[in-house]
Structure 1
Amino acid sequence: MPITGGFSETRDATKETQKLCDQVKPEVEKETGKNFKEFVAVKYSRQTVAGTNYIIKVHVGGDNYILLSVFEALDFNGGAVELKDVQENKTNEDPLTPF
């Protein structure tokens, strides 16, 4: 169980994690200037705050991965999903660390 304020251990991505990625994909493509044919969440870590911060590793084809920093507001605050940052040029071996 995650500690409030701290990030959880790295976990395998879920359908819910993929849904978050799908929601921010257009913004990721705009920010990176790339159109991703493949965009599959593989791992994630989460931090419980006044909502949830996620660090998500996404496979974008071949040996290429990106890291997404995503915030999901609490339902009573609208439940909005917001892309905070993107890190490109990652590998499957790169750890999930907050950025």
Structure 2
Amino acid sequence: MSDLVGGFVETRDATPEIQKICDKVKTEVEKETGRDYVEFSAIKYRSQVVNGVNYLIKVHVGDYLHIIVYVNLPGDEFSLLGVQQHHAKDDPLEPFH
């Protein structure tokens, strides 16, 4: 991985790996938002290498969510760190807590 430890990298198109991360935390996102999602599709993402990797992901659910997911190394644990609802398609992915 060529990303440097520190800030989030530029926004990239979601990959099948990013979709798998979304799938792992979907139930937790549903609990957090109080909604059940038929569609839960990763669109864009940014990553940040820490002691593991933080992923900031734009998810299409009819409208758009921004979620932050921490994935440990070697990648067997997934933790939902935050959810923002009611985003638009063109809203930039900006870190939040």
Q: Identify the TM-score tier after normalising by the shorter chain.
A: over 0.9
Structure 2 residue runs without a partner (length 5+): none
CA distance in 2, matches of 1:41, 1:68: 10
Q: Find the counterpart in structure 2 of residue 12 from structure 1.
A: 13
Cα-to-partner distance string for 1:41-96 (whole Å, 9 max, x where unaligned) = 000000001100010000001xx100001000011xx6301100100000111101
TM-score by length of 2: 0.94
TM-score by length of 1: 0.92
* Among candidates 75, 78, 90, match of residue 87 of structure 2: 90
Q: Find the counterpart in structure 1 of residue 31 from structure 2.
A: 30
Moved over 3 A (4+): none
Q: Find the counterpart in structure 1 of residue 55 from structure 2.
A: 54
Q: Find the counterpart in structure 2 of residue 40 from structure 1.
A: 41
Q: Find the counterpart in structure 1 of residue 3 from structure 2.
A: 2
Q: Find the counterpart in structure 1 of residue 65 from structure 2.
A: 66
Identity, in percent, stands at 54
